[in-house]
């Protein structure tokens, strides 16, 4: 296995990680921004007002995007395990 192969596997792993985490992170970012604007407009500074909507929104996104995320991860792992014979010799 060459250093180039190791770098390619690492790049693919980071790419898969970012693609799988993106829906959850973007949801938390958008909901947090909306709640922050609401808090600034109403001058309500309650910490649970930040936490609960994010939790609910991320749960909904996990229900909707979860099958895609799981399938993408399974495809990557199958490709990685399938390439082991070429990596060894």
Handedness of CA 54, 22, 75, 2 (dihedral sign): negative
List, for residues 14-41, the tens digit of each pLDDT value: 999 999 999 999 999 999 999 999 999 9
Q: What is the mean pLDDT of residues 61-81?
A: 96
Report whether 65 contacts 25 (CB < 8 A): no
State how far the Cα of 21 lies from the Cα of 14, in Å rounded to an integer: 11
Whether residue 66 is predicted with pLDDT greater than 90 in this model: the reply is: yes
Beta strands, E only, 21-89: none
Q: Which pTM was predicted?
A: 0.80
- In three-state secondary structure terms, 86 is helix
Structural tokens at position 67 = 């099958």
CB neighbours of 57 closer than 8 A, spacing ≥ 6? 27, 28, 30, 31
Q: What is the mean pLDDT of residues 63-68?
A: 96
């Amino acid at each position: 296995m060459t250093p180039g192969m190791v770098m390619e596997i690492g790049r693919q792993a980071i790419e898969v990680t970012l693609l799988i985490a993106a829906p959850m992170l973007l949801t938390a970012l958008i909901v947090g921004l909306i709640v922050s604007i609401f808090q600034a407009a109403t001058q309500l500074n309650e910490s649970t007002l930040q936490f609960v909507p994010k939790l609910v929104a991320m749960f909904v996104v996990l229900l909707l995007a979860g099958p895609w995320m799981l399938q993408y991860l399974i495809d990557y792992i199958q490709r990685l395990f399938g390439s082991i014979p070429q990596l060894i010799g």
